[in-house]
Amino acid sequence: MSANRQHGWQLAAAVVMAYFASVLAGLPEHFWAVMSVLIVMRPSAGGSLDAGWERVCGTMAGVLCGLLGVYVEHLGADALLTTLAIVAALAFASAATPALRSAAVAALIILSASQLPGHSALQTAVLRVSQIGIGVGVALAVALLSSTYDAPRRLHAGCASLLRAMALRLRQADDKVNTTDSEAEQAAASARHALGRLTMLARGADREAPLLRRAQALREPRHYSRLTGLMQRVFQDVAVLRRMLLAAPARQDDSPACEVAQAVALALDSVADCMAGAGQADLSSLRRIAAGHESHLADAGASCRRAVLLAAPLHMLLEDLQRICFYLRKKPHEQS
């Protein structure tokens, strides 16, 4: 079953379950729970929890603003102007705060509460919040019970892919492969997009871990986010090294630049294999290169100036890769 079809069945099941849960709870307008499912539902439990939490926060803010608007209208303010002012203000705020994206909709629902016969504005607000709670709960339950989307596994695979891409770019720099400005911009944009996806996967994995009763998550709830942060630092380290290699003289087989590029690329591929579960990371070549460049720091001659400049980014990269390996070797609850 494809991922899209799996998610489709999850959505369909959650919609039906939310509707009948609302019916059993005796709430009016059962499709408000269905709407919450459609907004919140994600293929993984962690993703659904993120979306659901943002929607709940935004909805509660919208409810409070809506109730304030109802009170202002009760004091004699024009209903149309009050509604437009509050909804427009919340829409403006949602551009800066993603959690408020549903606030404008919630406020609009509350401010139009008079259209629900037999209920006051406050009663309608409570009913709508209850419907949203049912929708969010059903979406999370269905995602948790039926999800085949393993966020930690996908996160490790994504990290390994990005590390291999960085190693390839380093080898191209060492070989003086000419790239156009458009190709360089496209590669940078692709890397930024990959880092953004890794950040989202890490957040979902951290959210999902307590739900799946992963014991290691109890002592270090941001384990996967910290791993992604290290990946961002490695990306920056490699970018600095690559610029230095591109600025080096023409490639020679025994040149320091060639040796650095090969050692770093091998280290990145090794950590990628470890991330993918295909072996242990080997940083010995990178460690040797970093130690060799450190020995040049005492020499002020122009001939070793480039080696001296490479020493700092090499040591930062080595430290970040060692920390990634530490995270992969140890269980999160064993880390300090």
Do residues 114 and 259 both lie within one domain? no
For the domain that residue 290 is a member of, what is the CATH number?
1.20.58.220
d(CA 96, CA 91): 10
- Point out the least confidently predicted range of 83-87, 167-171, 211-215, 331-335: 331-335
Phi then psi for 125, rounded to 5 degrees?
-60, -45
**Of the residues 124, 146, 168, the one at which a domain ends:** 146
Whole-structure pTM value:
0.59
pLDDT at 179: 63
Angle (CA) 10-16-22 rounded to 5° is 125
**Of the residues 104, 126, 146, the one at which a domain ends:** 146
Average pLDDT of 251-277? 76
What 3-state DSSP class applies to 241? helix
Structure confidence at residue 248 as a pLDDT band (50, 70, 90): low
Per DSSP, 279 falls in state: S
Do residues 171 and 59 both lie within one domain? no
Do residues 165 and 82 both lie within one domain? no
Do residues 30 and 132 both lie within one domain? yes
**Of the residues 113, 146, 179, the one at which a domain ends:** 146
pLDDT at 17: 92
Which has more pLDDT, 244 or 103? 103
d(CA 45, CA 34): 18
Which has more pLDDT, 124 or 284? 284
Do residues 289 and 192 both lie within one domain? yes
- In this predicted structure, the answer to whether residue 235 has a pLDDT above a threshold of 70 is yes
Count of domains observed in the chain: 2
Cβ atoms within 10 Å, residue 87: 21
Q: Which residues contact 32 (CB under 8 A, 6 or more apart)?
A: 22, 128, 131, 132, 135
What 3-state DSSP class applies to 196? helix
Cβ-based burial of 298 (10 A; exposed 0-12, middle 13-18, buried ≥19): exposed
Domain range for 213: 151-334
pLDDT at 253: 47
- In this predicted structure, the answer to whether residue 134 has a pLDDT above a threshold of 50 is yes
Short-list 140, 131, 144, CA closest to 102: 131
Query: Position 127: which residue type?
Result: L
Structure confidence at residue 335 as a pLDDT band (50, 70, 90): very low
Q: What is the mean pLDDT of the chain?
A: 75
- In this predicted structure, the answer to whether residue 20 has a pLDDT above a threshold of 90 is yes
Query: What Cα–Cα distance (Å) separates residue 160 from each residue in 83, 153, 176, 276, 329?
Result: 50, 11, 24, 6, 15
Q: Which of 15-24, 113-122, 217-226 is predicted most confidently?
A: 15-24
99 with 58: CB under 8 angstroms?
Answer: yes
Do residues 173 and 320 both lie within one domain? yes
Of all residues in the chain, the percent with pLDDT exceeding 70 is 72
Average pLDDT of 233-249? 80
Do residues 58 and 165 both lie within one domain? no
Do residues 92 and 16 both lie within one domain? yes
Per DSSP, 257 falls in state: H
Do residues 199 and 74 both lie within one domain? no
